[in-house]
Structure 1
Amino acid sequence: MLRLTYLLAKRGPQVALVLAVLAVAAFGAAGWTATHPPTTDVTDRQNVQGASLEFASNATVTENTSLYETGTVLTDPAVFPRDAPVLRVTPRVHSANASFASVTQSVSLVYTASRREETFWTHTVPLATRSADDAKSLATPVTVDTERVREDLATYRSDVGDAGTVSVAVRTNATYRVGGYTGQLTGSAPLTFGEDWYDAGASGDSRTHDTPYTRTVTVPSAHLVPPSALGGAGVAFLLGAVAVLAWYRAYRPSLAAVTEELHRHRYDEWISAGFVPSVGDEHVVDVATLEALVDVAIDTDSRVIYDPSTGRYTVLTEAARYRYSASRETSEN
């Protein structure tokens, strides 16, 4: 506290100026933070439209077996028995949002020969094509004679031999317009055959359309000081500057007195209270400050004697008497 008093008594206006500058900086930072919050860009999806292509298949048993009776309709089973030879495949394209402005779907039976996953021969048999306007979905059912396909597949495999493998699938291509977008879907239902069964696996397709829209939003940040805190700091600095100036003008103590008190506190271990009788001035040396007198005491390995009756500090040596008078320094200042 004594050091603070000394600083304010000596540099009060400068301290007030520093506090005022800090107040202005705090107010400026609060204003900038309030008008420039942290932001991030957020992308919204507008006019979202979805389209999908799915397959459904069924076949009717034509002969009684130990497993099925005649006329039993099998819908998407794990396998179809050979006793249900006519396969009905229904590809359906569907819009998840708005209706299709227009949609066209083509279904074909496609034979392919490939070697090492590279196709070198393709034979396409068109089955059906349908179109529609302003529709939520479009189905294009087709029938496949699996016994005929089984025979054709055996012929093609015989002709290809060990040059590659031959496969067959029901393939669907759909093109559409929806919500201002144009798209295409492709699906396939591969046919596989065993001695007494066949299978129609299905692989559909889907697609989503949207229009991205980017906007800037304000986000909270844990790294920035809130404007209210900065404003509060500015007010505190400003009040501090006003208080320092008011104290400096109205209550500032004598700088010499504060200096003496500070030195007395700092060198208290070197000072002893006592009474020094008056002598002539022949061997008396007056020093300017208490700090200088303490230096003499340190250099001569002596004590500083303080006489409360006269307010003087004295160092007694064989050569001279060194003294410092607080009242003298006060009157000079």
Structure 2
Amino acid sequence: MADWSRVLPGALKCKRFCLRHGWTAVTVLAVFGVVMIGLGAYTGLAPGTETVTEQRGAQTITAESNVSAVVGPKSALWAEGTRLENRPAYLLRDSPNATIDARFRVSNGEFSSVDPTFRLEYRAVRDGETIWSESSPVNATVEQNADRVAATTTVNVSAVAEKIRAREADTRKAASVRATIVLEVPYETDRYDGTLVAKFPVSVDGTAYELDPASASETRTTPVQIERPTEPNVPLVVVLLTLGTLGLLGGGAAYRVTRGPSSEAALLELERRIEHARYAEWISVGEFPTDLSQELVRLENLDDLVNLAVDANGRVIYDRERDAYAVIRRDIVYYVGDRAEVVSEWQFGKVPTQVENES
């Protein structure tokens, strides 16, 4: 009964509303349903557009390198003229000169101009901070044709090692002196221009040195704003169509109620059912005896009778045959119903004109 008391009054109130405002309810629900379905169809079939930024005209400019050293006449390990490429280390006595071969390319286009340069940098570093630096250009050979853009330079690493030791002596070893070969590549393509930078650290350790290949690349694009259709908002479409369907179903139900006769008696009966459903958890169905001798008191509405039952920690008895409600307290019967039928049938004697308070 408690569950029905939550659900049934709402349904009965809707029916009451339809009886009172029938054609208005039908029109409002029908229009609402049609509008929601129309909006749902439009949202699903005619999605909007959005402005997005696309990156177009992509070009990747790349610089790659190869490091090699030619063995000189003083080597006891390799024959003179042997070329050592991309080794983890080179011996200063055997291969004092290192060569860097750099190649440049651009994807989806071609160079308008390329001007690669090499320079040799020295830095004295202490605690990660540079306290002294020096830079000097290094001669390079540039080759540029339709199929190839390249640059080559050769560095005397023995001379570099001597300069590192000399500068460390000048700083009294208060700082670490480092040498780096820097490749800078200013470029222009048919779309973009810029500069690539690749660095080749030179690490000298006693009789050997390390010089690893390096590379650099960057991708350039042009942002373009375009408009494109958006994907339909499926959850919104579902909600709109559902609301539209419910509106039409509600309009159909309201029409069924409205087209029937809506008399004052029907409305009163509906009000009674609503009130009964509201207090269903306090009401039990039963029959009233007719041979009682209690005093009879009539209350105006079921709300008062239920309050009386709650105060008395009792229940309201509903007699379907007499269509009446009653609460029996000691020798008094409080009831709600039609006085003419209930009193004459129960024969409880004179009906009081007011409710008497218990002492």
How high is the TM-score relative to the length of structure 1?
A: 0.69
Q: Distance in 1 between matches of 2:138 and 2:13?
A: 103
Contact 1:91 1:139 in 2 (8 A): yes
Contact 2:68 2:98 in 1 (8 A): yes
Amino acid at match of 1:109: L
Query: SS of the residue aligned with 1:301?
Result: strand
- Aligned alpha-carbon RMSD (Å): 4.5
Q: Distance in 2 between matches of 1:184 and 1:218?
A: 39
Query: SS of the residue aligned with 1:225?
Result: helix
Greater shift, 153-162 or 33-42, is seen at: 33-42
- Structure 2 partner of 1:319: 350
- Structure 1 partner of 2:117: 106
Q: CA deviation at 1:319?
A: 1.4
Q: Distance in 2 between matches of 1:141 and 1:40?
A: 51
Q: CA deviation at 1:46?
A: 0.7
What runs of 5+ residues in structure 2 fail to find an aligned partner? 1-6, 277-282, 291-298, 306-322, 354-359
Residue number among 70, 86, 92 corresponding to 2:80 in the alignment: 70
Query: SS of the residue aligned with 1:256?
Result: helix
Query: SS of the residue aligned with 2:72?
Result: coil
Greater shift, 23-32 or 67-76, is seen at: 23-32
- Residue 171, structure 1, aligned to residue 203, structure 2: no
Greater shift, 257-266 or 287-296, is seen at: 287-296
Identity of aligned pairs, percent?
23
Q: CA deviation at 1:87?
A: 1.6
Contact 2:120 2:138 in 1 (8 A): yes
Residue correspondence of structure 1 range 1-333 to structure 2 within 5 A: 8=15, 11-12=18-19, 14-32=21-39, 34-35=42-43, 42-63=52-73, 67-81=77-91, 82-116=93-127, 117-128=129-140, 130=142, 132=144, 138-162=149-173, 164-215=175-226, 217-219=229-231, 221=233, 224-226=235-237, 230-231=240-241, 233-249=243-259, 251-252=260-261, 255-256=264-265, 259=268, 263=272, 266=276, 269=285, 272=288, 294=324, 300-301=332-333, 312-314=341-343, 315-320=346-351
- Structure 2 partner of 1:330: none
Amino acid at match of 1:238: L
Aligned length in residues: 304
Q: Distance in 2 between matches of 1:165 and 1:301?
A: 110
Q: Distance in 1 between matches of 2:60 and 2:271?
A: 84
Amino acid at match of 2:28: V
Amino acid at match of 2:333: D
How high is the TM-score relative to the length of structure 2?
A: 0.65
Q: CA deviation at 1:183?
A: 0.8
Q: CA deviation at 1:298?
A: 6.8
Q: CA deviation at 1:12?
A: 2.2
- Structure 1 partner of 2:311: none
What runs of 5+ residues in structure 1 fail to find an aligned partner? 275-286, 323-333
- Structure 2 partner of 1:327: none
Q: 1:271 to 1:254 in 2, by over 3 A?
A: farther
Q: CA deviation at 1:68?
A: 3.0
Q: Distance in 2 between matches of 1:6 and 1:169?
A: 88
